Structure 1
Amino acid sequence: MLICKTERLTLRELQLSDAEFALRLYNDPSFLQHIGDKGVRTVEDAAQNLQQGAITSYAQHGYGMWLVEHQRGQAIGLCGLIKRDFLAETDLGYAYLPEFFGMGYAYEAAVAVLAYAAEHTDLNTVVAIVSPANLASKSLLLKLGFEQDGQVLVPDKNEMVDFYRIHLTKQPDL
């Protein structure tokens, strides 16, 4: 299902047919360094991860991680909303293949996701977590208008990460 379009990007729900892309992204060195090892080693593992993660989240929450495609139809990353067990609020998540870093795609997709959250969900705030060493991600969050609000422990990693929050602004009905 289509979520939204921007000037250069399309965001849509992930499908099991996106497993090959997910396998590549989840095993990219930058993903492993900044997000972590999901233990996804095969296309079947990736399909199972998509089913248990994003696809289940769509049914439970009405949102989840979405595939980010360049308008030419090429998958370049993920961006979306995640309801994590250890956070009270919904989290903005994103990850891109390194060949698409530094081109403004992460910002463009995140702006669209935050607008979607404001208009199509009951969320009043969105949070984000980022490893302290991930300066590019921290810079992106600040550019989006997030404010740092301390740190939080990620239980399965037993690691403290920086915690950010943004208050969503609903557009008035005209």
Structure 2
Amino acid sequence: MTNAPLIETERLALYGWREDQLEDLIRLHGYPEVSRFLRSDGLPWTREQCETALALWMQLYETRRLGKLRIVRKSDGVFIGRAGFGVYKTGEPEIGYALLPEHWGNGYAYEAASGLRDWIFSETDEPHFIGFADTRNAASLAILARIGMRKTHVETEQGLGTQFHVLNRP
């Protein structure tokens, strides 16, 4: 895998993950405040769950240039979190992001999501992508709306009441 980022924004670089970066993922998803909106029990991810996610994201990156990507701040190389596209059970690309709590409130999630939105429509032929967030997660719902996504429906995902969104190719 190349060391070049897949996506760069003004302040961020988004890279594919490497196996030796597992500890960063464990740290990110070890925070209860990060995990609370990702699954109904709100528990931090186990090492095994992080290993499984990392393997999936690495495989998606290698085969489709998708997967949740590692976010690094360009100014100092600090690990911020992860953001990217998974593949939802319907086969649609699904945008998602999670940041370390100490980086919340700086506009990084919006910046990463905007970069991902622009990338998917300029670099792939995907007709649309979806996104969803726990109905209690006002910050994440606001980001989906700010990048231009439209609400579609609410359903249960991972045991949570989840608001779905879609963004069609312009």
Verify same fold: TM over 0.5: yes
Residue 119 of structure 2 corresponds to which residue in structure 1?
Answer: 116
CA separation in 1, counterparts of 2:53 and 2:138?
A: 27
Shift of 1:49: 3.0
Instruction: Please say if residues 132 and 164 of structure 2, whose CA atoms lie closer than 8 Å, have aligned partners that are also in contact.
Output: yes
Question: TM-score under structure 1 normalisation?
Answer: 0.86
Q: Residue type of the partner of 2:30?
A: N
Question: How many residue pairs are counted as aligned between the two chains?
Answer: 164
| 1:49 match: secondary structure | helix
Q: Indicate yes or no: 2:128 matched with 1:125.
A: yes
Q: Which amino acid aligns with 1:164?
A: H
Partners of 1:26 and 1:38 within 8 A in 2 = no
Contact 1:83 1:91 in 2 (8 A): yes
Cα gap change, 1:39 to 1:8, in 2 (>3 Å): closer
In 2, Cα distance between equivalents of 1:98 and 1:77: 9
Q: Give unpaired runs (5+ residues) of structure 2.
A: none
Structure 1 residue 45: deviation in Å? 5.6
Instruction: Decide which moves more: 145-154 or 15-24.
Output: 145-154
Q: CA deviation at 1:27?
A: 1.3
1:56-106 superposed Cα distances (whole Å, 9 cap, x missing partner): 212343311101100111110111011022x34211110001111111111
Q: Of the candidates 9, 16, 21, which is equivalent to residue 18 of structure 1?
A: 21
Partner Cα distance (1:64, 1:166) in 2 = 18
Q: Which runs of 5+ in 1 are unaligned?
A: 170-174
- What is the aligned partner in structure 2 of residue 41 from structure 1? 46
State percent identity of aligned pairs: 24
Task: Write the distance in 2 (CA, Å) between the matches of 1:13 and 1:20.
Answer: 15
Higher relative contact order, chain-length normalized (CA < 8 Å, sep 6+): 2
Which residue pairs with 1:149 in the alignment? 152
Q: Which aligned runs of 4 or more in structure 1 are off by greater than 4 angstroms?
A: none
AA paired with 2:54?
A: L
Q: Which amino acid aligns with 1:78?
A: R
TM-align CA RMSD? 1.9
Name the counterpart of 1:161: 162
Shift of 1:124: 1.5
